[in-house]
């Protein structure tokens, strides 16, 4: 089994464990292969930590580092304390054993609690994979960094931290129809049933990261340039630096599908580069229309999923939201969740091939929007 197949086997196992989280897991796999950082946004209880932990366990033979940041977290807790023996000799050398600078997979929960004491060192680690403290400079073995938060940063000084995470993933509770499967998978996980778990070595991941840089992107370069211009025109900031790095995600999508060249459907990864939640729907609208044109049978499953939504499943989601809206005493937050989900379903509805079914669903969506507007 080659390295790509091994990584896909690891991701498949995690998907079976965490039902309804395929999108998150696939994107973490893309980030790992591209050696780009990923940020998870979502409320507690959406399995953010557990999924990252499972991915870390799937990488054999290397150290992992996980830490929950608070506003009082000190540099020593992340990077390690100064070596006392060296300190007596007048040298400021950090003892990094078991700390972040030694880890191949790094997960920093509540990342936006990072304070000024650790911010500069953290920014350099995330961006350049280098640890610098005083006169010390050390290359980090990190395959990728994953950050998570329940909320987006309010302090503008933390925007630079968000910028270090190329992939941004919205995590939410699973759909009601999947809850039964979630309970079964969760019970199995809690039971700690002993079974053979697929793994990939850290060296094999590094080899994949090298191969990722060798993917031929020339066939889609023109379309990619057009997309960047389009995103900038709609107000989504894509700096030249980010535009260059985003190519790594496109290449990773191709490599994960066993291809050495990119195709248009690999642009699905560009839906996850938002700076705020308002941009999620805009990106989906722009990117879905582009990848819809790709008729290749070698597309990544996430691109294929968005290309061919099932009309009955979409109608079920609409009916669920209609029933939900009719409930008494909906909180302001619950109302916003329904609106966000309805916008997403509306975007997916555009992909339904059957014109009659599409029109039927759109009528129900429009009817629900009218009810929502009447209550505002």
CA–CA distance, 291 with 288 (Å, rounded to integer) = 5
- Residue where a domain terminates, one of 254, 271, 298: 298
Evaluate the CA torsion angle 117, 155, 143, 129 in order and state its sign: negative
Residues 91 and 49 in one domain: yes
Q: Domain for residue 208, yes or no?
A: no
Confidence of residue 157 (pLDDT cuts 50, 70, 90): confident
Q: Domain for residue 125, yes or no?
A: yes
Q: Is 288 helix (H, G, I), strand (E, B) or coil?
A: helix
Residues 333 and 278 in one domain: no
CA–CA distance, 67 with 77 (Å, rounded to integer) = 9
The answer to whether 368 and 325 are in contact (CB under 8 A) is yes
Phi, then psi, of 142 in degrees rounded to 5? -55, 125
When pLDDT is averaged across residues 355-361 and rounded to a whole number, the result is 87
The answer to whether 217 and 250 are in contact (CB under 8 A) is yes
Residues 29 and 174 in one domain: yes
Tally of structural domains, the chain = 3
Amino acid 175: pLDDT: 67
Q: Domain for residue 174, yes or no?
A: yes
Q: Domain for residue 349, yes or no?
A: yes
When pLDDT is averaged across residues 70-75 and rounded to a whole number, the result is 91
pLDDT in tens, 255-304: 999 999 999 999 999 999 999 988 888 898 889 888 887 877 788 888 86
The answer to whether 258 and 276 are in contact (CB under 8 A) is no
Residues 155 and 21 in one domain: yes
Window from 76-90, 122-136, 288-302, 348-362 with minimum mean pLDDT: 76-90
Interhelix angle 240-256/22-34, rounded to 10 degrees, is 110
Q: Domain for residue 201, yes or no?
A: no
- Residue where a domain terminates, one of 270, 298, 326: 298
What CATH number did the domain enclosing 117 receive?
3.40.50.300
- Residue where a domain terminates, one of 251, 270, 298: 298
Evaluate the CA torsion angle 28, 215, 231, 343 in order and state its sign: negative
CA–CA distance, 339 with 321 (Å, rounded to integer) = 9
Q: Give the range with max mean pLDDT: 37-41, 97-101, 236-240, 348-352.
A: 37-41
CA–CA distance, 250 with 244 (Å, rounded to integer) = 11
Mean pLDDT of the chain, nearest integer: 87
CA–CA distance, 233 with 203 (Å, rounded to integer) = 41
Residues 27 and 117 in one domain: yes
What percentage of residues in the chain have a pLDDT greater than 90?
Answer: 48
What are the beta bridge partners of residue 40? 148, 169
Confidence of residue 112 (pLDDT cuts 50, 70, 90): very high
Q: Domain for residue 205, yes or no?
A: no
Amino acid 260: pLDDT: 95
Residues 294 and 315 in one domain: no
Domain range for 332: 311-375
Q: Is 34 helix (H, G, I), strand (E, B) or coil?
A: helix
* Cα–Cα nearest to 52, from 27, 79, 69, 77: 27
Residue 308 has pLDDT above 80, yes or no: no
Is pLDDT larger for residue 19 or for residue 258?
258
pLDDT in tens, 124-140: 999 999 988 777 788 99
Burial class (CB in 10 A: 0-12, 13-18, 19+), 58: buried
Residues 181 and 224 in one domain: no
Phi, then psi, of 174 in degrees rounded to 5? -70, 160
Q: Is 127 helix (H, G, I), strand (E, B) or coil?
A: helix
């Amino acid at each position: 089994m080659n390295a790509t197949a091994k990584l896909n086997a690891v991701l498949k196992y995690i998907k079976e464990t965490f039902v309804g989280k395929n999108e998150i897991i696939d994107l973490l796999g893309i980030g790992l292969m591209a050696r780009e950082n990923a940020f998870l946004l979502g409320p507690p209880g959406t399995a953010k930590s557990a999924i990252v932990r499972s991915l870390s366990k799937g990488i054999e033979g290397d150290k992992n580092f996980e830490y929950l940041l608070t506003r009082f977290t000190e540099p020593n807790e992340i990077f390690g304390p100064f070596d006392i023996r060296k300190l007596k000799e007048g040298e400021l050398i950090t003892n990094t054993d078991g700390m972040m600078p030694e880890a191949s997979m790094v997960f920093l929960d509540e990342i936006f609690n990072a304070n000024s004491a650790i911010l500069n060192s953290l920014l350099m680690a995330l961006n350049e994979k280098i640890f610098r403290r005083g006169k010390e400079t050390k290359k980090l073995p990190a395959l990728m960094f994953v950050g998570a938060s329940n909320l987006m940063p309010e302090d503008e000084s933390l925007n630079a931290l968000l910028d270090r995470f190329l992939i941004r993933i919205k995590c939410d509770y699973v759909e009601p129809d999947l809850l039964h499967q979630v309970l079964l998978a969760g019970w199995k996980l809690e039971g700690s049933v002993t079974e053979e778990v697929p793994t990939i070595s850290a060296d094999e991941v590094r080899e994949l990261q090298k191969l990722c840089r060798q993917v031929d992107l020339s066939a889609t370069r023109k379309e990619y340039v057009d997309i960047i211009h389009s995103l900038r025109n709609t107000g989504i900031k894509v700096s030249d630096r980010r535009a260059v790095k985003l190519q790594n995600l496109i290449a990773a999508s191709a490599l994960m599908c066993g291809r050495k060249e990119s195709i248009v459907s690999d642009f699905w990864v560009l839906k996850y580069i938002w700076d705020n939640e308002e941009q999620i729907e805009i990106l989906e609208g722009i990117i879905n229309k582009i990848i819809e044109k790709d008729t290749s049978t070698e597309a990544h499953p996430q691109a294929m999923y968005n290309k061919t939504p099932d009309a009955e499943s979409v109608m079920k989601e609409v009916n669920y939201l209609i029933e939900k809206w009719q409930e008494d005493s909906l909180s302001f937050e619950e109302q916003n969740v329904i609106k966000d989900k309805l916008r997403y379903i509306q975007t997916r509805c555009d992909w339904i091939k059957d014109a009659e079914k599409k029109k039927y669903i759109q009528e129900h969506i429009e009817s629900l929007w009218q009810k929502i507007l009447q209550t505002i």
